Chains A and B, each alone.
Chain A
């Protein structure tokens, strides 16, 4: 039985932001990370990124890093609770991926084979 605190499925936006925050990162860094890692498939708009970061912070899945005077930009890092969410989501995706690979032609099973 999975932990009841865990929410699933996560939105792609939430998942990508949390992955970008395994190391302390600021909004601009998150945008660049996501665009680069998805080869430009996902480009966050400022409104979407702002709303998602606020939401993740409220849920305590990410937290604000201590801001020093030299740092102008706010940096966030994923929390332990956030990491649990990401791991649970990856497990779910693995399950779906495995099923998809078993059934579709990509995974080797042809269309006329019995499922």
Chain B
């Protein structure tokens, strides 16, 4: 068993690329946690990986999708996507999810926004979505959490500015009771910029695909 620690700024494309690189080196994923990946040795290039975003699906939809993946002989690992969701105990609110997926109350729905798909390498590209319309739909679903995160960051910044009292208490991490105003603003600004960059990149991809689609139509 080989364990690797990894954090991805781009949890879909970045993770997909990294896992396929590991497969090329002869490593097969055997378990995936929040940041720790477990691998077993296999033949180089024996497996292929693709990462799917399922944070918009309800628990039932996710189970149905996983059952379908079983039917088509694709193995999968569930992963969290820690973005724009708020937890109170075991209840998690996903502001970006579609109807049915917004409130995650059962343990089955907590921390399962990404699916790593794995299949035996057959020498053909492993694309989760094989037509342009589905690719656009998938990118739009992926853009939603970033939009909500950006709005949330702006609201927090406004609260920080006008109410004055810091929104976040980080006494758990620091010996200070709370973040001072400027530090919090910088923190919120960095997250907002990362979100904006992701929104722009996803929007550009959608625009390119839309152009392609209008010709194909």
- A interface list, Cβ under 8 A from B: 11-13, 26-28, 31, 40, 42-51, 53, 72-74
- Minimum Cβ distance to chain A for residue B101 (Å): 15
* A40 CB contacts on chain B under 8 angstroms: 124
Fill in one digit per residue for B56-67: 1 if any A CB lies within 8 Å of its CB, else 0: 000000000101
* B116 CB contacts on chain A under 8 angstroms: none
Residue from B124, B125, B128, B131 in contact with A11 in the complex, judged by beta carbons closer than 8 Å: B131
Q: How far is the CA of A49 from the CA of B74 in the complex (A)?
A: 13
Residue from A43, A47, A72 in contact with B138 in the complex, judged by beta carbons closer than 8 Å: A47
Across the interface, name the chain B residue whose C-beta is closest to A42.
Answer: B130
Q: Would A50 and B130 count as touching, CB distance under 8 A?
A: no
Q: Would B130 and A48 count as touching, CB distance under 8 A?
A: yes
Q: Would B73 and A45 count as touching, CB distance under 8 A?
A: no
Residue from A12, A13, A26 in contact with B71 in the complex, judged by beta carbons closer than 8 Å: A26
Q: How far is the CA of A29 from the CA of B117 in the complex (A)?
A: 19
Q: Would B72 and A47 count as touching, CB distance under 8 A?
A: no
* B73 CB contacts on chain A under 8 angstroms: 28
Q: Would B130 and A28 count as touching, CB distance under 8 A?
A: no
Fill in one digit per residue for B67-78: 1 if any A CB lies within 8 Å of its CB, else 0: 111011110000
Q: With A27-B68, A31-B72 as known contacts, state yes or no: A46 contacts B131, CB within 8 Å.
A: no
B157 is an interface residue with CB less than 8 A from chain A? no
Fill in one digit per residue for B11-43: 1 if any A CB lies within 8 Å of its CB, else 0: 000000000000000000000000000000000
Q: With A46-B117, A47-B52 as known contacts, state yes or no: A28 contacts B129, CB within 8 Å.
A: no
* B74 CB contacts on chain A under 8 angstroms: 46
5 A-B residue pairings within 8 Å (CB atoms): A43-B127, A46-B117, A48-B130, A48-B134, A74-B68
